[in-house]
Amino acid sequence: MTSNSKNNDRRALAGVKVLDLTHHVAGPYCTKLLADFGAEVTKVERPGVGDPARGMAPFPNDEPHPDTSLLFAYLNTSKRGITLDLKSPTGRGLLERLVADADMVVENFSPRVMPGFGLDYESLQRINPELIYVSISNFGQTGPYRDYKATDIVEYALGGLMYILGSHDREPLKHALRQTQFKAGTNAATAALIAYFHRLTTGDGQHVDVSIHEAVASALRDTASLFSYIGAIRQRQNTYSGDMPRSPMPAKDGYIVPIHFGGAVDWDDTSDFLGEPDLKREDFSTPERRLEHAKELHEALERGFGRWNKYDLFQEAHKRRGSIYGVVQSPAEVVDSEQYRHRGYFTEIDHPVIGPATYPGAPFRMSGTPWEASCPAPMLGQDNQRIYREKLGLSKDELMVLRASGVV
């Protein structure tokens, strides 16, 4: 990874100018997707403190520092970075000058913030009628929950996804980390590009309203349709179902996830494959008897899976039986995966403070317009000189005054 790639002018979004007013996760992920495919993204942060994600773990050696958050470093590759106080009239004036030359503005403040600054879509559209203005918020720009605060787990709960995750006899669960934020960021980047395509054909800008709450609900898919059509409510899975489990099962050296689709399980064949003779017991000979003896069936399957090393079972299941099995991989195993290595998925980025580190790579591949993290995440205010002096034409003295007054 180099800071001045020869591929920059071939990337799909080269020439697209984006003002990034986002923070935390969803908004920065949206603009990262645009930046890594070639858009010229300028990240605008609060003077002195920056994006709150700079304070989010993990940190190298567990030592917090504004320029060493690994989450921030991942979410902000390929971007320029400036500082600007949007609460200041002078700061807002400088932003408006930048908006005049932008194709997109992306923000993820609560819906009342940008109108309060006089920087809402209607105000900025008067400066740049072709502007694509993307707003990402917890519940969208309208509705009774519009101004409510939320976290990832709250979005999971209210979006309906938690209800179907976890064990039937336990409390609902959510996926790990910040999946709702990344989903909303992906939706926002997609919507921004759809709006940009529309602008290319019509010349019309527009306001894009992305709700994280709705991004969660979109993952319900057939669950919502099932209720709409027949009133059925999908439940969390029972631990002992009397069938092949769909949750992780212990192998000799870890966990394997066995998934069976396409009709009834051939229990004799499964018994032979796993090497577990108890699966041929009369107690497991019919669906009714398997349900009646579900706990014993589960225990027999555990013995069968427990005879295998996880990768051996994974390979044999796919090669010999065409079954859908998956290994529960640790982070170290993921990074060392032969499949990822073959495709060159993970990429090393050398950050001036963090040093070299491994990051997830391209979300998809394009044969003619390559992805590239063209530079590491910016340090706080890294490009103030470049943007304010070279782009806006401010003098050295003017920039010094702005810095002294806390505007930048």
Same-domain status, 31 and 155 = yes
Instruction: List CB contacts of 221: < 8 A, sequence separation 6 or more.
Output: none
Residue 36 sits in the same domain as residue 160? yes
| Count of all residues that appear for the chain in the document | 408
- Mean pLDDT (whole number) for 84-89: 97
Please give the pLDDT value at position 229: 57
Residue 282 domain-assigned?
A: yes
Q: Are residues 27 and 134 in the same domain?
A: yes
Tally the domains of the chain.
2
- Domain with 371 in it: what CATH number? 3.40.50.10540
Confidence of residue 7 (pLDDT cuts 50, 70, 90): very low
* Predicted confidence (pLDDT) at residue 276 exceeds the cutoff of 90: yes
Q: Which of 327, 361, 392 is the last residue of a domain?
A: 327
Average pLDDT score over residue span 290-317: 95
Provide the pLDDT for residue 1: 43
Say if residue 67 is in the same domain as residue 142. yes
Q: What is the DSSP string of 269-323?
A: HHHHHHT-GGGGSGGGSSHHHHHHTHHHHHHHHHHHHTTS-HHHHHHHIIIII--
Q: Do 142 and 259 share a structural domain?
A: no
Could you give the count of Cα atoms lying within 13 Å of 142 in the half-sphere of its Cβ?
Answer: 2
Alpha-helical segments (H) within 86-176: 89-99, 113-117, 121-127, 152-159
Beta-bridged to residue 107, according to DSSP, are 21, 135
Record the pTM. Answer: 0.91
Average pLDDT in the 168-174 region? Answer: 82
The answer, yes or no, to whether residue 407 has pLDDT greater than 60, is: yes
Q: Do residues 203 and 276 both lie within one domain?
A: no
State whether 70 and 44 are in the same domain: yes
Domain residues for 192?
8-220+338-404
Residue 365: C-alpha distances to residues 11, 12, 76, 361, 370 (Å): 11, 11, 20, 10, 7
Could you tell me if residue 104 is inside a domain?
Answer: yes
| Summary mean pLDDT of the chain | 92
Average pLDDT (178-199) is 97
The CATH number of the domain where 288 resides is what? 3.30.1540
Residue 2 pLDDT > 60:
no
In a domain, 132, yes or no: yes
What would the mean pLDDT of 90-96 be, rounded to a whole number? 98
pLDDT at 166: 77
Task: Answer yes or no: is 241 within a domain.
Answer: no
pLDDT band with cut points at 50, 70 and 90 for residue 168: confident
Kindly report, residue by residue over 28-42, the tens digit of the pLDDT. 999 999 999 999 999
| 352 shares a domain with 312 | no
Instruction: Give pLDDT, residue 378.
Output: 98
Lowest mean pLDDT among 84-88, 215-219, 376-380, 392-396: 215-219
Examine the pLDDT at 212 and tell me if it is beyond 70: yes
For residue 35, the model assigns a pLDDT of 98
Residues 6+ apart with CB under 8 A from 257: 246, 247, 248, 249, 325, 326, 327, 328
